[in-house]
Amino acid sequence: MAIENIGVYEFLALAKSHPIVDVRSPKEYNHAHVPGATSLPIFNDEERAEIGTLYKRVSRKDAIKAGLMYYGAKLTAFVEAVEAITDTSTNTVLVHCWRGGMRSQAMAWLLSFYGYDVKVLTGGYKAYRHFVLDMLNFPYKLNVIGGFTGSGKTEVLVNLQKRAIAAINLEHLAQHKGSAFGNLEQHKQPSQEQFENNLVHELLAYLHLNENGEWVQKQTIWIENESQRIGDIDITKSFYGTMLKSPIIALIIPFDQRLNHIINGYGHYSTDVLENAVLRIQKKLGGAVTKEVLTYLAEKDIRSCFAQLLRYYDRLYQEAMVKSGRKATLIHCQTINATDNANQLILFFHH
């Protein structure tokens, strides 16, 4: 069978129906990879380090010999691993390494020899990363859902997604809810690089290349109003700039409704966990308010505790809106019902 070197656009288009084999080391893959790719390292981390040292300190030929020794012992295992991720409907496999060099070419030769039609990503993962960063500069058409903390904005986004309406949940991609209380479930956040890869992967679902080779957006994408930093993840300056320029529609929901929503979401955590979250923002809360909130916690008065914290986050939201100079379109909602509030957003834009 043939081996063909292809560019990023074609590679990602084929990836919708064919498996991607990432032959970089486990450390490289775990740091960040193309979404959906299967890790099949030609060399483990130790082998890669050894070969790299030989290449730099001894010679290219010695490095190749060492590589062939490790590679040759795994040929059958490589073929069987690829068989496990393919099915009878396709004989095409997509392969890449870091720069499209010896590792991807070695795997391509083996799989082609075995009978696969192999497509190798020209420039490797490095070329893909350039593509990702370029796509984050695209002038996306966004609608931004705003509103005070506890307004159920994320639930509305999820509801829109269930209706096959273009929507992206940044907090889900970042594995963080975006405040001092945003990671109480101790989810491990992806690397910054992986977050960017995942975001572009979702954005591409709403783009297509026209006959002139230009990206065209098929529909406006709903997204939640976020700070530029979500936990340890930064939304890139270019994409965040696009968010700030986009129309913002704020859900206005009664304080008690939002307070109940917050208590349902966070009230079950232990006092120690909640106390640690409060202490992370004590400088911003101020000494008197921090002491008051911690006293409520110690007395198991969760409602008063979260009411005080909610007033703090309301003040932050108002200050951020004033500072940004943005004017939001207000949609008044009586309750936090994702279906009803999503309907209001949709009706607003239909009219």
Q: Which residues, at least 6 apart from 136, have a Cβ–Cβ distance to it below 8 Å?
A: 196, 199, 200, 236, 238, 239
User: What CA–CA distance (Å, rounded) separates 70 from 47?
Assistant: 8
Cα separations in angstroms, 136 against 33, 43, 81, 129, 276: 17, 32, 34, 11, 35
Cα separations in angstroms, 152 against 167, 317, 342: 15, 15, 10
Only one residue has tokens 């966004």, namely 142
Domain boundary among 133, 166, 188: 133
Q: State yes or no: pLDDT of 82 exceeds 70.
A: yes
Q: Which pLDDT band holds residue 186 (cuts at 50, 70, 90)?
A: low
Cα separations in angstroms, 207 against 55, 142, 197: 42, 13, 15
Name beta bridge partners: 207: 217
Contact call for residues 123 and 104 (beta carbons, < 8 A): no
Pair 128, 197 in one domain: no
Task: Encode 273-285: b = buried (16+ Cβ within 10 Å), e = exposed.
Answer: ebbebbeebeeeb
User: What CA–CA distance (Å, rounded) separates 97 from 108?
Assistant: 11
Span 242-300, pLDDT tens digits:
999 999 999 999 999 999 999 998 888 888 989 888 888 888 888 888 999 999 999 99
What is the per-residue pLDDT for 114? 94
User: What is the share, in percent, of the chain residues with pLDDT greater than 90?
Assistant: 74
Its domain, for residue 300, covers: 141-350
Pair 289, 166 in one domain: yes
Pair 192, 98 in one domain: no
Q: Which pLDDT band holds residue 1 (cuts at 50, 70, 90)?
A: low
Pair 219, 334 in one domain: yes
Which residues are known to be catalytic?
Answer: 97
CATH number where 150 lies:
3.40.50
Domain boundary among 133, 164, 191: 133
Closest CA to 267 of 307, 208, 321, 215: 307
Minimum mean pLDDT range among 125-139, 155-169, 260-274: 260-274
Pair 119, 242 in one domain: no
What is the per-residue pLDDT for 224? 95
Strands 329-332 and 248-252 turn out to be: parallel
Residue 156, token pair as written in the block = 């509305």
Pair 175, 113 in one domain: no
Cα separations in angstroms, 201 against 136, 163, 173, 254: 11, 19, 11, 36
Pair 129, 145 in one domain: no
Q: State yes or no: pLDDT of 93 exceeds 90.
A: yes
Pair 251, 276 in one domain: yes
The residue-averaged pLDDT of 27-43 equals: 97
Span 13-30, pLDDT tens digits:
999 999 999 999 999 999
Pair 122, 182 in one domain: no
Number of domains in the chain: 2
Pair 119, 153 in one domain: no
Closest CA to 173 of 185, 187, 153: 187
CATH number where 72 lies:
3.40.250.10
Q: State yes or no: pLDDT of 187 exceeds 90.
A: no
Cα separations in angstroms, 186 against 32, 230, 231, 262: 20, 14, 11, 18
Pair 10, 121 in one domain: yes
Residue 288, token pair as written in the block = 């008197």
Only one residue has tokens 């100079």, namely 325
Q: Which pLDDT band holds residue 206 (cuts at 50, 70, 90)?
A: very high
Q: State yes or no: pLDDT of 117 exceeds 70.
A: yes
Pairwise pLDDT comparison (289 vs 118), residue with the higher score? 118
Pair 55, 146 in one domain: no
Q: Which residues, at least 6 apart from 338, have a Cβ–Cβ distance to it below 8 Å?
A: 152, 155, 156, 158, 159
Domain boundary among 133, 159, 191: 133
